[in-house]
Structure 1
Amino acid sequence: MDIFKEYKDILDHAFSAMENAYAPYSNYHVGACVKTKDGKYHIGANVENASYGLSNCAERSALFATYSQGYRKEDIESMALVTGENTLGTPCGACRQVMVELLNGDTPVVIANRQNKAMVTNITELLPFSFTDDNLK
């Protein structure tokens, strides 16, 4: 499977979002895109802050934008996360925890970079044995 062909649309949007990253401290630019089943694209970029804990990752930016528009996990078709780095940039722990709650477990998550490396996974694979609302019952 050629991931770059199969997921061209969502990857193009994620790479475009990456150009909007505000990363003056890490210089690590990340873009993300959530594609909903109605064919719409919801983008996010990482936005850093001098108080590092107040920064927001691209994945959470894109998911929060999607949810802010009234979409929910059953409306999401796929998600893409991209960087310009030599290695694939997988989501941080905080993003994985948010993704567990806001994505269905089998929703495709495409991770790619500008060096034509890519993989398709899902949040169940990225965060096995996750903490969910079931743990709170």
Structure 2
Amino acid sequence: MDKVIIEKLVQEARNVMKNSYSPYSKFPVGCAILTQDDRIYTGVNVENVSFGATNCAERSAIFTAVSDGERPGFIKAIAVAGDTESYLPPCSICRQVLVEMANPQTPVYLTRHDQQILETSVGELVPLAFEKMEM
């Protein structure tokens, strides 16, 4: 993927972090998803005092895209941003949602506070994915 596009996607994820609602953890996360038709959807983590009701930035972005009509396979790339010392990967629940909505080779760009970017893929994040079953 073109370096300019990667940097734009990562910057979108970093920019949207300011909209995070994280009063309990004080741990804002931003996410930006590039679709197959080059649209960008963003999301942030939204916390709740009942922590089980909290939603991650990655799922917020994915669910917004699905609400807009996107369907499995729509993700061309995804970037996750946080103000962390190490690269910030999606949680396991978000990884499983990515398995449903992206392809194993879909690039995932992880960031950290010093602006460095690590490229991985959905397949590398979830090597033995629980995949959709035929009904």
Q: TM-score scaled to structure 2, two decimals?
A: 0.91
Q: Distance in 2 between matches of 1:117 and 1:37?
A: 25
Unaligned runs of 5+ in 2: none
Give 1:65's aligned residue. 64
Give 2:91's aligned residue. 92
Give 2:120's aligned residue. 121
3-state DSSP of counterpart to 2:127 = coil
Alignment partner of 1:39 is 2:38: yes
Q: Distance in 2 between matches of 1:129 and 1:34?
A: 23
Q: What displacement does 1:6 show?
A: 5.3
Superposed, which structure 2 residues align to 1:1-137 within 5 Å? 5=4, 7-134=6-133
Unaligned runs of 5+ in 1: none
> Runs of at least 4 residues of structure 1 off by over 6 A?
none
**Percent identity of paired positions between Structure 1 and Structure 2:** 37
Letter in 2 for 1:94: I
State the superposition RMSD in angstroms.
1.9
How many residues align structurally?
Answer: 135
